[in-house]
Chain A
Amino acid sequence: MPNQLHPDSDTGVGSPMEPSVRNEKKLDRQRWFRKLYGQRHLQIMALLGIAWMIVFNYIPMYGIIIAFKEFNIVKSIGEAPWVGLEHFKEFFSDDDFTTVMRNTLGISLLKLFIGFPLPIIFALFLNEIRSVRYKRTIQTISYLPHFLSWVILGGILMTWLADIGIINNILLALHVIDEPITYLAEPKYFWGIIITSDIWKELGWSAIIYLAAISSISPEMYEASTIDGAGRFQKMWYITLPSIKSTISILFILAVSGVLNSNFDQILVLRNTLNESASNVIDIFVYHTGIQNGRYSYAQAVSLFKSVIAIILLLIANKVTKKLNDTSLF
C-alpha cells in the first residue's frame, strides 16, 4: 500500500531527479493529502476506535511485563525491578501447581470430550424431527438457558443440591442413597456438577451453528440416498455428518485453544472453601493471588503461562485439522 501512495520511493537512489519526476512526486503527495483531507471525518471515527484499542487492549498487553518484574502497587510498572523468571520458577514449584493444573485440564478435557460432541448429536436428531413447528419450539426452548446468568443458575443448583434439595429427595425416595449428600461440599462431585450444568446451559445454543450448516445441505443428496435405500441413521452418518465436517473442525480448533479457559463465571459462583481441591483452576488462582492477595507479578506470570499454552494449542489444533481434512482457521 505505501508504495502505491508514494511511488517516488521506488525511484533510484542517488540518481539526480528529473524536474518532471520531482513534480510528479509533489503532485502525488498533494493528491495523498487531498485524499486524507477528504476523508478527515472518517479518519476521526477510525482513530477514536484505535485510541480505545490502544488504551484497553494494548496498554494491558504492555502490562504483561510485570510477570518478569517485582511489581508493587505504589510504584509504576516501569519503576519495578526486573526479576527474570523468578515467578515462573516459583509457580512450577508451588504446592498448588499440580492441583490447579489437574483441575483446569480435568474440567476442560471433560468439557471437550462430552460437551463438544453432544450439541452435534442434538442437532443431528433435531434435524430428523418432521414437524417444522415442533422443531422450532424445541429449538426456542433449548437455547433459553443460554440467556440466564451463572449467578441465577448457581442459585438454582445450590437449592437443588442442598441436603434438603430436590436431588437428595429423589435419590432418597428411590433408595439410591441412604443419607442426604451435600454435593457442593464434596470435591469429588464438583467436576460432574460443572460439566452437567454447562451442558444444560449451552446445549441448544451450541447446536445453532450445526443446524444452520445442516440446513444448507442440498435436499437432492437425501433424495438420491432414499432411492438407494438408505435409512435414517445411514443418512445421518453418510450425508449429514460429512457435510458439516468443516464446521465441526473450525469449532473444534476453537474449543481446543480454549482448553485452559475454564469457565470463570461458572466456577466462581459454585466454588467454596470445602470443594476447593477440585475447583481451584488457573483463572480462579490468578484472581485470588493477584487481585485478592495483591501478588500481581506472581499472578501475571501464571496468567502468561496460560496464554502461551493456549496459543501453542491453537496452532497445533489448526495444523492437525488442516492435515486431516483441509479446513483451518488460518
Chain B
Amino acid sequence: MFKRRTRGEALFDIFNNFGMLIVCFLTIYPIWYVLVNAFNDGQDAMRGGIYWWPRMFSFENFSAVFQSSGIMTAMGITVAKTVVGVFIHVLFTAMVAYAFSRKGLIGGKFYILLGTITMFFGGGIIPFYLLIKDLNMLDSFLVYIIPFMFSFFDLIIFMTFFREIPDGLEEAAKIDGANDWSIFLRVVLPVSMPVIATIALFHGVFQWNDYFTGVLYINNADLQPIQTYLYKVVAQSSSNQMMAQVPGGVSKTVTSQSIKMATMVVTTAPIVFVYPFLQRYFVKGMMIGSIKG
C-alpha cells in the first residue's frame, strides 16, 4: 500500500479509526466496570464513583464467594453439565451425522427430511415441558443433558465436514476388517478435530450460559447451575439470600452488591479466558453454518 492518500481519504481514516475506538470502548467498559467493582472493598463501593480502578483494593468479595456453599454447589453443577453435556452432544450428534453422511444409506433422504422439518416447526415450550414431566426428568440432572444431546443444525455442520473426508481413509480401514463403529471412532473422529472443536465450543457456551433450563425444570436448589442462581439473585433481587449463605467469619466489608459483582466475574471468567484461543474455530464454524443455512 504505497498509494498516496488524498486529504479526504486521510480524514475518512481518522474518523473511521476513531469511531471504531469508541465502539471498542463501549463494548469493553461495562465488563471492566464490573471487574473493578468486584475487586473493590464492598462498603467503600457503596459510596459510588469507582469507574476506572479499584479505590480500596480487596479480595474479600472473592473469598466470600468461594466460601459460600450455595455458590460453590451451583458452580459445580455448571461445570458438570458443561463437561458432560458437551461430551455427549458432540459424540451423539457426530455419530448420527456420520451415518447420515454416508452415500447409499437406505432411507437416508427420508431421515434428512425428518430432520429438516424440525428446523422449521416445533411444538413450543408447553408440550416440551409436559414431555419432560412425563419422562420424569423434572428435578433431575439428566434434564441438562438428554434434551440437548442432539441438534440437527449441528448435524448439518458435521455432515458437511464428513463428506469432505477422502474415501481412501475409510476404505483402507475397511480392508483391515474394521466395522462402521470403529471407522467412526478411530478414523473419522480423529481427522475431524476442527469441526469438533467448533461444535464443542458453541455447545459449551450454551451449556455454561443457559439459565432457563434450571428455572423451568429444577426446583431443588442443590441442582441449579450458577446462571440460574444468579438469575434468582439478579431478577428476583434475593441477594440477601446470597449473604445468608456466607459464613459468619467473612469480614463485614462485603455487601450483597459487591458479592454479586464478584460472582459475576467468577461466572464469566472461564469464558473470557478460553475465548481468545478458540476464536478461530467459531469463526470457521459460523462460515460453514451460514453457507448451509
Q: How many B residues are at the interface, by size bracket?
A: 35 or more
In the complex, chain B residues whose CB is within 8 Å of the CB of A42: 98-99, 102, 105, 180
Q: A60 to B107, Cβ gap below 8 A?
A: no
Q: List 28 A-B contacts (CB under 8 A).
A: A41-B179, A41-B180, A41-B181, A46-B99, A46-B107, A48-B96, A49-B96, A57-B118, A128-B12, A128-B13, A130-B13, A138-B23, A141-B28, A147-B205, A149-B208, A149-B209, A149-B267, A151-B234, A155-B34, A155-B234, A159-B34, A160-B33, A212-B290, A264-B212, A268-B212, A286-B125, A290-B125, A299-B126
Counting CB contacts under 8 A, is B24 at the interface?
A: yes
Residues of B within 8 A of A50 (CB): 111, 114
A141 touching B24, Cβ below 8 Å: yes
Are A212 and B287 touching (Cβ within 8 A)? yes
In the bound complex, what is the Cα–Cα distance between A55 and B135 (angstroms)?
A: 10
Judging by beta carbons under 8 Å apart, are B98 and A1 in contact?
no
Nearest B residue (CB) for A226: B3
- Say which residue of B104, B287, B290 sits within 8 Å of A35 (CB atoms): B104
Cβ < 8 Å to A, chain B residues 98-136? 98-100, 102, 104-109, 111, 114-115, 118, 120-131
The verdict on A164 contacting chain B, using a C-beta distance below 8 Å, is yes
Cβ of A171 within 8 Å of any chain B Cβ, yes or no, is no
Judge whether B105 and A46 touch: CB under 8 Å: yes
Residues on A close to B: CB < 8 A? 1, 5, 32, 35-36, 39, 41-43, 45-46, 48-50, 52-53, 55-64, 66, 77, 122, 125-126, 128-130, 134, 137-138, 140-142, 144-145, 147-152, 154-156, 158-160, 164, 166, 169, 200, 203-204, 208-209, 212, 231-232, 264-265, 268-270, 272, 283, 286-287, 290-291, 296, 299-300, 303-304, 307, 311, 314
Query: Given A39-B106, A61-B123: A200 and B268 within 8 A (CB)?
Result: no
Interface SS, B side: helix
Contact B19 A152 (CB under 8 A): no
